[in-house]
């Protein structure tokens, strides 16, 4: 029997026929990623439904010297889950919520549970799981953990890294590490789970996690404010942080172009303010205390900001649907940008105090490098994280524009690094930024990362070619 057929037969032995997809049309969704920047190939897709099946699959691959490409919802934006031969290990059948413990404020879930289902299960127990991002209807919690996903609630609740108390992981030789502890204090040696969080499938396959829950918000206030420039918008952020303390949950920024694109391309999205403004802040306060007068608090923040000339106009949502409409304006920007044509993306962060400088200087530099380019920055400025995306000039050919991806990266990434920032704030490295990481990270850091990789995956079978090149591969 040819090797590929032997592999499929061996996988069917472990997983049953529904657990295996052989090459053919059904495999296509697992071979590429949403933006079409990367495509790959695989000998098979394995769909284990239990941790033991994951372990047996990885053991089989290890024994056969085949690479394993873990995949969750495949919504990642850096080509991290795209295979190059070997076996795609999809977590889509690992969908059990094993336990919810409201007193301990934790839940134990399997890696393939879709983020939105995690949020709903928490809600059903009268709790909040605060991770929230545009892809929440299709990304899976294992993918969120493997990428240390950020999103809208980081300002208040932290990145995924801060939301994970324990992990279960299948290691590169098929051994299961059970680190499913629901402890807020645990100083027993190295914190192993942190190695796997954000490791993008290169160190092991995450099969389950203990997640932190929070009291469910009982009051919420949401506003959209138009600002004359970014310095003033950041002053509103500082004001909101001081006046609203721990109720400040999100502080998002949108440039005028981002709002225009969302309004013109996405049905039912509208700009609620009467005039256009160069920048907009989307502000959300929330509290678990029922009846907390958050609207009044937000009004006083905006009133003071208006007096100080930081805000030109603002609207506070009067109902849940109005708040949802403000959020859909923000959340539809990536899709709107895609519909407008080519978009060169930068997911970067700098200290909050340097956000305004980054955007002003960055716009200046890219405009000089390519007259007619349309910078479209937006993002989580409360975390110092900007999606500094560049929309193609109106008359330019899309392919010719995208061919300038690396030039534009160099302009923005040099500036970001100069300002003490990071070239990957929340989406990770994957394939897309692998060479950028090597270009900017200190050699000592790269050596340490390679050392960790070799210790955990000596034969380089876990998602090879992602984050780092190992031995040229
Ligand atoms: P996948 O894309 O399947 O995989 C991502 C990486 O994790 C790959 O390297 C893969 O090998 C690895 N991996 C997946 N599952 C496992 C596992 N069980 N064990 C080990 N490794 C694994 N990201 C943000 O951080 N913040 C945002 O605000 C945000 N917004 C987005 C909005 C849209 C519209 C889209 C399309 C994407 C957005 N993303 C965002 C990116 C993406 O949704 C996140 O990176 C998400 O965490 C990926 O989850 P996934 O299940 O789709 O993972
Ligand atoms: Zn984001």
pLDDT at 473 (0 to 100)? 59
* CATH of residue 345: 3.30.70.2740
- On whether both 101 and 211 belong to a single domain, the answer is yes
Low-confidence ranges of the chain (pLDDT < 70): 1, 472-473
Q: Domains in the chain: how many in total?
A: 4
- On whether both 259 and 347 belong to a single domain, the answer is no
* CATH of residue 185: 3.30.465.10
- On whether both 111 and 205 belong to a single domain, the answer is yes
Last residue within a domain, chosen from 333, 352, 369: 333
Report how far residue 213's alpha carbon sits from residue 100's, in angstroms, rounded to the nearest whole number: 9
Ligand 1 contact, 143 CB (< 6 A) = yes
Domain presence at residue 48: yes
- On whether both 186 and 126 belong to a single domain, the answer is yes
Q: What is the distance in A from the centroid of ligand 2 to the CA of 368?
A: 26
Report how far residue 17's alpha carbon sits from residue 14's, in angstroms, rounded to the nearest whole number: 9
Domain presence at residue 322: yes
**pLDDT tens digits, one per residue of 268-277:** 999 999 999 9
Domain presence at residue 34: yes
Could you list the residue range(s) of the whole structural domain that residue 195 is in? 97-215
Last residue within a domain, chosen from 306, 333, 360: 333
H or E element, residue 203: none
pLDDT at 34 (0 to 100)? 81
Domain presence at residue 472: no
Q: Is 101 helix (H, G, I), strand (E, B) or coil?
A: strand
Domain presence at residue 59: yes
Report the predicted TM-score, pTM, of the whole model to 2 decimal places.
0.96
- On whether both 278 and 310 belong to a single domain, the answer is yes
Domain presence at residue 408: yes
pLDDT at 17 (0 to 100)? 97
Domain presence at residue 447: no
Burial letters 394-426, b for 16+ CB under 10 A, else e:
eebeeeebbebeeebbebbbebbbebebbbbbb
CA-nearest residue for atom 53, ligand 1, is 143
**pLDDT tens digits, one per residue of 78-132:** 999 999 999 999 999 999 999 999 999 999 999 999 999 999 999 999 999 999 9
Ligand 1 contact, 139 CB (< 6 A) = yes
Q: Which ligand is nearest to the CA of 153?
A: 1
- On whether both 114 and 209 belong to a single domain, the answer is yes
Ligand 1 contact, 81 CB (< 6 A) = yes
pLDDT at 50 (0 to 100)? 98
CA-nearest residue for atom 14, ligand 1, is 143
CA-nearest residue for atom 27, ligand 1, is 151
CA dihedral 443, 448, 454, 457 (to 10 degrees): -110
Last residue within a domain, chosen from 312, 333, 354: 333
Q: Residue 320: what are its φ and ψ, rounded to 5°?
A: -55, -50
């Amino acid at each position: 029997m040819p090797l590929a057929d032997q592999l499929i037969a061996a996988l069917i032995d472990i997983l049953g026929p529904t657990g295996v997809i052989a090459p053919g049309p059904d495999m296509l969704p697992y071979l590429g990623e949403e933006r079409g920047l990367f495509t790959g190939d695989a000998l098979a897709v394995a769909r284990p439904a239990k941790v033991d099946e994951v372990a047996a699959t990885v053991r089989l691959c290890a024994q056969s010297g085949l690479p394993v490409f873990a995949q969750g919802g495949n919504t990642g934006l850096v080509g991290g889950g795209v295979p190059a031969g070997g076996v795609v290990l999809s977590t889509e059948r690992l969908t059990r919520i094993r336990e919810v413990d409201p007193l301990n404020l934790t839940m134990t879930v399997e890696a393939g549970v879709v983020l939105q289902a995690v949020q709903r299960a928490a809600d059903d127990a009268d709790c909040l799981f605060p991770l929230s991002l545009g892809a929440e209807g299709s990304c899976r919690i294992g993918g969120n953990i493997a990428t240390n996903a950020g999103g809208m609630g980081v300002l208040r609740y932290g990145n995924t890294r801060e939301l994970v108390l324990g992990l279960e992981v299948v290691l590169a030789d098929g051994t299961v590490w059970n680190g499913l502890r629901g402890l807020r204090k645990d100083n027993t040696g190295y914190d192993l789970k942190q190695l796997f969080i954000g490791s993008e499938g290169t160190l092991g396959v995450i099969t389950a996690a203990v997640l932190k829950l929070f009291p469910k918000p009982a009051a919420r206030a949401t506003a959209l404010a138009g600002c004359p420039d970014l310095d003033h918008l950041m002053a509103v952020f500082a004001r909101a942080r001081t006046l609203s303390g721990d109720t400040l949950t999100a502080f998002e920024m949108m440039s005028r172009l981002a709002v225009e694109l969302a309004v013109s391309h996405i049905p039912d999205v509208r700009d609620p303010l009467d005039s256009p403004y160069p920048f907009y802040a989307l502000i959300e306060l929330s509290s678990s205390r029922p009846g907390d007068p958050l609207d009044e608090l937000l009004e006083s923040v905006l009133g003071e900001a208006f007096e100080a000339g930081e805000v030109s106009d603002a609207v506070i949502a009067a109902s849940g649907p109005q708040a949802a409409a403000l959020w859909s304006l923000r959340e539809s920007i990536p899709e709107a940008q895609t519909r407008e044509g080519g978009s060169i993306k930068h997911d970067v962060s700098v200290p909050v105090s340097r956000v305004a400088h980054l955007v002003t200087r960055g716009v200046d530099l890219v405009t000089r490098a390519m007259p007619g380019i349309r910078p479209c920055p937006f993002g989580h400025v409360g975390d110092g994280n900007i999606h500094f995306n560049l929309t193609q000039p109106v008359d330019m050919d899309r392919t010719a524009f995208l061919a300038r991806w690396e030039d534009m990266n160099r302009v923005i990434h040099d500036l970001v690094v100069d300002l003490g920032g990071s070239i990957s704030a929340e989406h990770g490295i994957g394939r897309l930024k692998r060479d950028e990481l090597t270009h900017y990270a200190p050699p000592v850091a790269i050596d340490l990362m390679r050392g960790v990789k070799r210790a955990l995956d000596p034969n380089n079978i876990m998602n090879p070619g992602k984050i780092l090149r190992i031995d040229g591969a």
